[in-house]
Amino acid sequence: MSFFRKTEETLQNSAIDELRQTVAAAALPAHVRQVAEKELATLSKIAPATAEYSIGLTYVEYILSLPWNKKTDDNLDISKAENILNERHYGLSSIKERILEHLAVKILIRERKPRILIVDDEEIARKNLEHILKKENYVVVTAANGIEALEKMETSEFDVIMTDLRMEKVNGMDLLEKAKIRHPDSRVIMITAYATVDSAVEAMKKGAFHYITKPFKLDDVRSVVREAVDKMLATISAKGSVLCFTGPPGTGKTSLGRAIAEATGRTFSRISLGGMKDEAEIRGHRRTYAGAMPGRIIEEIRRSKVMNPVMMLDEVDKIGLDFKGDSASALLEVLDPEQNRAFMDHYLDIPFDLSNVMFIVTANIPENIQEPLRDRMEVIEFAGYTEDEKMKIAQGFLVPRQTREQGLSDYKPAFTEETLLKIIQEHTREAGIRELERQIANVCRKIAAEFVHSREKASHFVVTPQAIEKFLGPRKYYFEITGEESKIGVTTGLVRTEVGGDIIFVEAAKMKGGKELILTGSLGNVMRESAQAALSYIRSNVSLFHIPYDFFDNHDLHVHVPAGAIPKDGPSAGATIAIALISLLSERRTKMDVAISGELTLSGTILPVGGIREKILAARRAGVKTVILPLKNRIDVDNLGDDVVRGLEIIFIGRLEDAIDRVLLSD
Ligand code: ADP
């Protein structure tokens, strides 16, 4: 028994000793080392068989596994960054431009030497401070009294002002007040003798950043100034410092994120926020829970082995509804430069500096991002691609990549334009190009299989449209509208979904009954309300639409939006629903190749809607000839390229009545 205990103790000691040595040798910041040492001291008093013991050991090992001081060096060469973005992606010029601007600002802020003003009437103190701070690579300006300091503050801006509290005429307190008015972002540090500490505390109440007491310790001076400078930089870069890429899948958000990482010389990592249900997934569990784990953010940092990766947080618009805790505030703590310097993960329980991480957030629909988060980010919209753009991307990127990846580098089959167009139109139906790439990969694989099978490798294999039929089978998609007969009670509409724009057919039916409105077809709440509003508008204007007064007393109405179980929501179907109902009630057939999108108010006004580019692209994919849009969306259409609107008639309306004769036939 006693032998047994001894072995156990020895084992315990050796495990702890080993960790102690690793802690001693590791490059840990002082406060982290303290926590690790304290934990090991506690562990040495606990029996190794207990749960606490193994939880403690794992904890110390986890601390040691984090890259506390490791960073990659940033590439600050903007033209190299530009080349990389261009080489990897076709088009997207305005997006690339905004990304480069964003990087340029970051580079400038980082490269700029912080400016510090030292005000002290004691020459030795002034010279000492100047000497210390110049060594820290700051631009240092000195003033021998308050009046001189005021003059210098008039002509130039300082990030940090260090001022003696007691001076003749204009003292430190006066300078603080002036600085707060003229440059509210600058940080003021008071220099004080022990006797005047009370006044320094008073100064902090009035907005001073900190105070140091004379005679000062060099380390204190350095760390207080560094902290002030960091805070100042965080304030400057806080606004719009996080990029948010929004748009349908397959439009290049992720691959542009990767290109940014490459362009800046950083590692790339990615976390999906979609479906996260619990704050603990972001912030971790407290160690008191059995099986507690760190949150995904810290875990991803550990995996990326550096403090400054480019970290992409995907699907920020899919977090929220059934989330336990406040997802927006947890994410703000991660993303906000003012807060993320000391991010608290519950498991780690030591403030962790995330301020060097370059976060990029992605979402499918910008409107679905919670407001406080959206305000903090620079939203960049990735819209869907036109057929021309898809063609160029396929030729320039997808075909070369897939030929390489499917082992065909030496044979390089040629895809003709006609062939690619056939794949785009008949085998894909998407805003982005994911499916397109998948289908090209399919074709390449089939060619590879044939080559290997027949042992006959043609070096100039041309992929014809006929070959596509053989490889991919019969066409999967048709222009939905082409050939559709005009109908009563069915109207074509345009909506935006997760995957881009889409056309919908709103169907309306009437039956004997009593005033009921039945709504079906995976409609969201907003769309249901739009249907109610459309009906109320029609009921309050029966004479305008030639509907008998008592019609509604003895009829039920049913509005249905087919096309699978794809959830549909948003206000933009209001006008479409109203036209379907008017067609039904006035028994006029609708032109199916006219698609309408607009929010309808109770008074019949048409309000602007979002996702215009996506909707127009969807209309073209479906073979729509005419698109009716709200008057106030004219500016959005004007901003689209010619290739997006080419061949489409676009009509703008301010009131619902203006749409009626455009959509309904008069016979
Ligand atoms: P998202 O993140 O928006 O869903 P991805 O970045 O995964 O889309 O893009 C899907 C594929 O399409 C990737 O292979 C990407 O490289 C390619 N791609 C997207 N846009 C472009 C473009 N403009 N030029 C070249 N390739 C592109």
Give 25-57 as a 3 state SS string. HCCCCHHHHHHHHHHHHHHCCCCCCCHHHHHHH
Highest mean pLDDT among 36-40, 101-105, 620-624: 36-40
DSSP H or E run through 555: strand 555-560
C-alpha closest to that of 397 among 249, 260, 252 = 252
Neighbours of 315 (CB within 10 A): 18
Count, in order, helices (H) and strands (E) of the chain: 26, 23
**pLDDT tops 60 at residue 505:** yes
Q: Is the CB of 394 under 6 A from ligand 1?
A: no
pLDDT of 429 reads 84
From 90, 244, 433, the mutation candidate for ligand 1 (largest count of ligand atoms within 8 A of CB) is 433
Higher pLDDT, 195 or 84: 84
Higher pLDDT, 235 or 499: 499
> How large is the average pLDDT for residues 351-377?
88
**pLDDT tops 60 at residue 646:** yes
How many angstroms separate the alpha carbon of residue 584 from the centre of ligand 1? 44
- Counting atoms of ligand 1 from 1, which one is nearest the CA of 256? 6
- Counting atoms of ligand 1 from 1, which one is nearest the CA of 88? 25
pLDDT of 321 reads 64
Q: Is the CB of 257 under 6 A from ligand 1?
A: no
How many angstroms separate the alpha carbon of residue 382 from the centre of ligand 1? 11
What is the β-pairing status of strands 268-272 and 414-415? unpaired
What is the β-pairing status of strands 500-512 and 517-520? unpaired
Q: Is the CB of 249 under 6 A from ligand 1?
A: yes
> How large is the average pLDDT for residues 250-255?
93
How many angstroms separate the alpha carbon of residue 250 from the centre of ligand 1? 5
> How large is the average pLDDT for residues 43-66?
89
Q: Is the CB of 384 under 6 A from ligand 1?
A: no
Q: Is 448 exposed, middle or buried (0-12, 13-18, 19+ CB in 10 A)?
A: middle
Residue entry with tokens 């204007």: 541
Residue nearest to atom 5 of ligand 1 (CA): 252
Highest mean pLDDT among 227-236, 340-349, 543-552: 340-349
How many angstroms separate the alpha carbon of residue 436 from the centre of ligand 1? 11
Tell me the percentage of the chain whose pLDDT exceeds 90: 41
**pLDDT tops 50 at residue 353:** yes
- Counting atoms of ligand 1 from 1, which one is nearest the CA of 245? 3
Mean pLDDT of the chain: 87
Highest mean pLDDT among 49-58, 372-381, 433-442: 433-442
SS3 193: strand
φ and ψ at 560, to 5 degrees?
-130, 140
DSSP H or E run through 389: helix 387-393
12-24: pLDDT as tens digits: 577 888 889 999 8
How many angstroms separate the alpha carbon of residue 433 from the centre of ligand 1? 7
**pLDDT tops 80 at residue 368:** yes
Distance of CA 212 to the CA centre of its chain: 41
How many angstroms separate the alpha carbon of residue 354 from the centre of ligand 1? 28
- Counting atoms of ligand 1 from 1, which one is nearest the CA of 362? 2
Highest mean pLDDT among 45-54, 73-82, 530-539: 530-539
**pLDDT tops 80 at residue 479:** no
Q: Is the CB of 386 under 6 A from ligand 1?
A: no
Dist. CA 172–CA 159, nearest whole Å: 16
Q: Is the CB of 428 under 6 A from ligand 1?
A: no
How many angstroms separate the alpha carbon of residue 252 from the centre of ligand 1? 3
Under 8 Å CB-to-CB from 649, ≥6 apart: which residues? 625, 626, 627
Distances in Å between the Cα of 61 and the Cα atoms of 31, 58, 302 are 16, 5, 12
**pLDDT tops 60 at residue 212:** yes
Q: Is the CB of 433 under 6 A from ligand 1?
A: yes
Tell me the percentage of the chain whose pLDDT exceeds 70: 94
**pLDDT tops 90 at residue 460:** no
For the four alpha carbons of 11, 13, 14 and 19, in that order, the dihedral sign comes to positive
> How large is the average pLDDT for residues 366-376?
85
How many angstroms separate the alpha carbon of residue 256 from the centre of ligand 1? 7
How many angstroms separate the alpha carbon of residue 440 from the centre of ligand 1? 14
Dist. CA 346–CA 303, nearest whole Å: 18
Beta-carbon-side half-sphere exposure of residue 122 (alpha carbons within 13 Å): 13
From 388, 392, 397, the mutation candidate for ligand 1 (largest count of ligand atoms within 8 A of CB) is 397
Residue nearest to atom 22 of ligand 1 (CA): 89
pLDDT of 107 reads 77
How many angstroms separate the alpha carbon of residue 391 from the centre of ligand 1? 13
Is omega for the bond preceding 215 within 30 degrees of 0, making it cis? yes
Q: Is the CB of 260 under 6 A from ligand 1?
A: no
Higher pLDDT, 42 or 566: 42
**pLDDT tops 70 at residue 457:** no
For the annotated catalytic residues, the residue numbers are 572, 615
76-102: pLDDT as tens digits: 788 888 999 999 899 888 889 988 888
**pLDDT tops 50 at residue 4:** no
Q: Is 266 exposed, middle or buried (0-12, 13-18, 19+ CB in 10 A)?
A: buried
> How large is the average pLDDT for residues 633-658?
92
300-347: pLDDT as tens digits: 999 999 999 999 999 998 886 667 777 778 888 899 877 888 899 999
Residue nearest to atom 10 of ligand 1 (CA): 250
What is residue 71's DSSP assignment?
Answer: -
Q: Is the CB of 345 under 6 A from ligand 1?
A: no
Query: How sure is the predictor about 276, in pLDDT bands with cuts at 50, 70 and 90?
Result: confident
Q: Is the CB of 253 under 6 A from ligand 1?
A: yes
Dist. CA 263–CA 467, nearest whole Å: 39
The pTM for the full model equals 0.77
Enumerate the H helices of 406-456 as residue ranges.
417-427, 434-454
> How large is the average pLDDT for residues 479-485?
71
- Counting atoms of ligand 1 from 1, which one is nearest the CA of 401? 14
Higher pLDDT, 450 or 479: 450
Enumerate the H helices of 211-361 as residue ranges.
218-238, 253-264, 279-283, 296-304, 327-335
From 86, 251, 364, the mutation candidate for ligand 1 (largest count of ligand atoms within 8 A of CB) is 251
Dist. CA 378–CA 374, nearest whole Å: 8
Q: Is the CB of 397 under 6 A from ligand 1?
A: yes
Residue entry with tokens 């007393």: 553
Q: Is the CB of 65 under 6 A from ligand 1?
A: no
Q: Is the CB of 393 under 6 A from ligand 1?
A: yes
Q: Is the CB of 89 under 6 A from ligand 1?
A: yes
pLDDT of 29 reads 86
